[in-house]
Amino acid sequence: MYEILLTTHSWIRWIILLLALIVIIKSFAGWRGNKPYGKGDNGLSAAFIGTLHLQLLIGLILYFFFSPITQAAFQDFGGAMNVAAQRYWAVEHIFAMIIGVTIAQIGRTKSKKANIDKQKFKIAFIYYLIAIIIMLSRIPFSEVNRLY
């Protein structure tokens, strides 16, 4: 089960990055170009947030139930803070991802409540950009094979 969840979690990362790129570019273009905020924009934003939530759910399941790294860290959390890989997975990665997803969700909610299309795009652009920067800071790219 661990390998299936881990592989799924790893692949969803790429979908999220693609969706983030699309919604951030479209939001910037809509904001700066005074374009109407349409159903397609809303759908892409919802897909981005929905995929983030799915990723977070899988990540939390891995974190609390299946990851041998976090399970080892839970045995001696103080000692785990002295081991870079354990600290990364037990604290840094999950903390950044929860913050990033929360910021993206706040942006989605505020964007939906805005009455002016330009504001919808501006809010989405700012919040989604901040969220993805935070998440990118703790997505394992080159070290993924070394830390698992």
pLDDT at 144: 46
pLDDT for residue 145 is more than 60: no
The domain containing residue 89 runs over which residues? 2-147
pLDDT at 63: 95
Mean pLDDT of 127-148: 80
**Percentage of the residues of the chain whose pLDDT score is greater than 70:** 95
The domain total for the chain is 1
Amino acid at 30: G
Q: Model confidence over 23-59: pLDDT tens digits? A: 999 999 999 999 999 999 999 999 999 999 999 999 9
Q: Model confidence over 59-73: pLDDT tens digits? A: 999 999 999 999 999
